[in-house]
Amino acid sequence: MKPLYFFNQTHKTMKTTIILLALALSACTVQSNLIPDKDGYALQIDGYNQEITVGQSKQIEVNVLRSGAYMNKPIKLKVISPLPEGLSISFTSQPVMFSKAVAELNSSASTKHGVYTIVLAGDAITASLPSKGIIFKLSVN
């Protein structure tokens, strides 16, 4: 009976090990700067919540993630959400030809305190590609 007991314990240990390994692998995702060809491109920023102080400026790096088929397509960035009075956003490198651009946020002294939802969009200068966007929260303090 001892060999059968050993087999059952080994089988349980292997099963537990395989389950733990599968859970660990599913928790570890690799982030790639490439996206599937069918999507073309996507916009990304670091952090969903951003802050700016009234009367100050802030720069936010906008990453343009591109698939192999769209590596050389120009992307024009724009703001498509209403901005509070006194807040403006401009972009460097228009249109974006590479993987990064900078959104320059400028808050005047008249900008009201609050939390605002900002939507940035990118338009590929190729008729067949739809606009892509990203949303973030901006706290004006």
**Cβ–Cβ < 8 Å for 71, 26:** no
Do 52 and 21 belong to one domain? Answer: no
The per-residue pLDDT for 65 is: 85
Range of the domain at 89: 41-140
Shared-domain flag, residues 46 and 26: no
The side-by-side arrangement of strands in the sheet containing 41-44 is 41-44, 57-66, 100-107, 87-91
Residues 80 and 113 in one domain: yes
One domain for residues 74 and 105: yes
pTM: 0.66
- Does 54 lie in the same domain as 109? yes
**Higher model confidence: residue 34 or residue 19?**
19
21 with 55, same domain: the answer is no
Task: Encode pLDDT of 75-122 as tens digits.
Answer: 888 998 999 999 999 998 778 877 888 999 999 999 999 999 999 988
pLDDT confidence band for 60 (50 / 70 / 90): very high
